[in-house]
Amino acid sequence: MDTMAESHPCSCGARHPTGVRRCPGAPAGAKAGSGRDRGAVALFRIADMDCPAEEGLIRARIGEMPGVLGLEFNLMRRTLKIRHEPAALPAITEALDSLELGARLADKASADRAATAETRISWRKLAFAGCLAAASEAFELFIQGDVGGSGFHAPAWEIGGKAIAEWLPPIMAVAAILVGGLATYRKGWLAVKNRNLNINALMSVAVTGALALGQYPEAAMVMVLFSLAEAIEAKSLDRARNAIKGLLSLAPEQAMILDADGAWRETDIKRAAVGDRVRVRPGERVPLDGVILEGRSAVNQAPITGESLPVEKTAGDPVYAGSINESGSFEFRVTAEAGDSTLARIIHAVEEAQGARAPVQRFVDRFARIYTPAMFAAAFATAVIPPLFLGGIWREWIYTALVLLVIGCPCALVISTPVGIVGGLSAATRRGILIKGGLYLEQGRLIKWLALDKTGTITHGKPRQTDFAEWGGLERDRAVLLASSLAARSDHPVSLAIARQAAENGAARLEAADFSALPGQGVRGVMEGREWRLGNHHLIEEMHMCSPELEKTLFALEKQGKSVVALIGERGVQGLFAVADTIRESSVGAIRELKRIGVKTIMLTGDNGHTAGVIAGQAGVDDFKGNLLPEDKSAVVERLSESGLVGMVGDGINDAPALARAGIGFAMAAAGTDTAMETADVALMD
């Protein structure tokens, strides 16, 4: 969450752009801070920081140290930015080293690379520990004699006057704890050593207390289940990191940039500066944000804005990093460096939203900040006060204190899953709804607003021909034959929709000779000895064929959110074809049902206001917002959250920030992107 990326004065007296160059007088990994911050900024990569428990430990250790001006944690990337006085860095580094969490000074590039590394979890070790714990429980039952009326009794063989079977439960329990719980003991010891009684410390003491009380199987099973819960959470963070990795791969690493000597060269996008001239060829992804200087093309902005159809771009129009150039070639002027592009802001928004949700998802850790020390104090008082002041027996009251500590351990809140939740999750899965935790199943009833993406969620996400208007006297069948023959040679989504509709109706096809694309306008070809064109509104105007009557018809169709192309021959416009993304048949009924149960709906889309208004009216949503970028969708969700729990439904990369920001995110998994799947809390598989 790089909120300090700006040019600033450093303690050395010079100005350095934050995040680009470090202060020459600072150690590697430390960067200059802003004048407002009065110090330097050090970026640490902390390999073992996987949950808020470690964050709390670090905050307690260095948060109040002299010279520390501010802390900025990012669990997603396992990084910590520390704003500090320059002279305090050695003491800060030493303090972090003492926590044994693998803290190392790093620059942003190395931290980005390390952030994609997955947490190493030994599932085999956990499974083996679970088997040992279960076996310990089983042998404990056997020792008690007749098991369930089966007539089975423990063997009578003895070692040192004690039956062999009686040695097995404690041996297996201790082995299970050693195999599956050493990491928890290590974290617990670090917490105690740094006077921070977190849940790991309480778990360690509680399990040790259970062993001291002779409750070996219970101690082993509690430790194994707690370790399993920690491993699952670490894995969920890995899935979120993979979503970020997928976003990073959208923009190409190289761009064709015009050098000062007038030559075009492939250059790393990180070296591109605002004002550079970049060329994009057909089929390539746009590498950076910018404004077109020369050329025109249809650009697919769906990964960024979610618009269902490619947008015609010409000189003066903006383009976004990660979008796809469909047809023509163009050159643009860079308006934002790689780290400040729209795509980079999407990534930042996802990270920020994930981080903002972490305290909610880990309620138990916040609860334990008060509860854990209170339980330790109560157990200590129980062990000490009666023997000292009431004549109690030390052994009995220490035993009672350990019992209190074990039964008071909040691990049950972490590892328990009520039968109702298990049943609900299973039932949902059988119906193609993958819910990523009982928390979201429980909170679903609290949703006040449901925000819905348009393309691929309320609509099918694939444009279809919706209208045909005869024009210029050419018969419908003849116009469809000519237009579909040209459209079949194009890969533009609007052309594909026209060709598909004609094919479904059984229309024949002509051979188009001398075929060529008209960048940003349409296509042309010669059929039966005559030249025909299939193009958009821009082409009609350029050919000076846009009469007032035709303009009125075009405007009426475009006002309905439809893309219109015309078949143009030697005698002018000979037919109009309108294409639009159509609403799903089930959308209206689903939104009506949501209203019936008291959930308000709002449609969020990157499409223009006309298109958004038409679809919103057909779907029957309570409100809608158009022309939204990904961060705008996230902002709307955040604003709605002030009035209650908000759900967000989406399927695209552009929906990821809003999905992460929402109280519950729903991904349309059947046709959605991996990023949406990873970010959301519920995946609709069908």
Please give the positions annotated as active site.
Answer: 453
DSSP3 helix / strand / coil % (the chain, rounded to 5): 50, 20, 30
Contact call for residues 145 and 111 (beta carbons, < 8 A): no
Tokens representing residue 447 in the block: 């949703």
Angstrom distance (rounded) from CA 632 to CA 619: 22
Give Dmax (Cα) for the chain: 114
CB 372 within 8 A of CB 201: yes
Place of tokens 């001291």: 212
Q: Distance (Å, rounded) from C-alpha 251 to C-alpha 245? A: 11
Task: Specify the 3-state DSSP secondary structure of 239.
Answer: helix
Q: Three-state SS for 280? A: strand
Q: Which tokens hold the place of 565?
A: 């192309």
Which residues lie across from 162 on neighbouring strands? 159
Dihedral, CA of residue 112, residue 114, residue 116 and residue 118, to nearest 10: -160
Tokens of 649: 């439904």
Q: How far is CA 516 from the centre of its chain?
A: 41
* Strand pairing report for 645-650 and 447-453: parallel
Q: How far is CA 428 from the centre of its chain?
A: 22
Backbone torsions φ then ψ of 584, nearest 5 degrees:
-70, 145
Q: How are strands ordered across the β-sheet holding 297-300?
A: 311-313, 297-300, 324-325
As a whole number of angstroms, the distance between CA 196 and CA 60 comes to 7
d(CA 250, CA 331): 20
* Overall size of the chain counted in residues: 686
Beta strand residue intervals within 1-155, DSSP E: 7-9, 15-17, 30-32, 40-46, 68-74, 79-84, 103-105
Q: How far apart are CA 207 and CA 409, in angstroms?
A: 9
C-alpha span between 332 and 293 (Å, rounded): 5
Question: Among candidates 74, 75, 65, 79, which has minimal Cα distance to 108?
Answer: 79
> CA angle, corner 278, sides to 273 and 284, nearest 5?
125
CB 676 within 8 A of CB 652: yes
Q: What are phi and psi of 152, to 5 degrees?
A: -80, 135
Q: CA 189, CA 211: separation in Å to the nearest integer?
A: 17
How far apart CA 155 and CA 163 sit, in angstroms, is 7
User: Phi-psi bin for 522: left (phi > 0), alpha (psi -120 to 50), beta?
Assistant: left
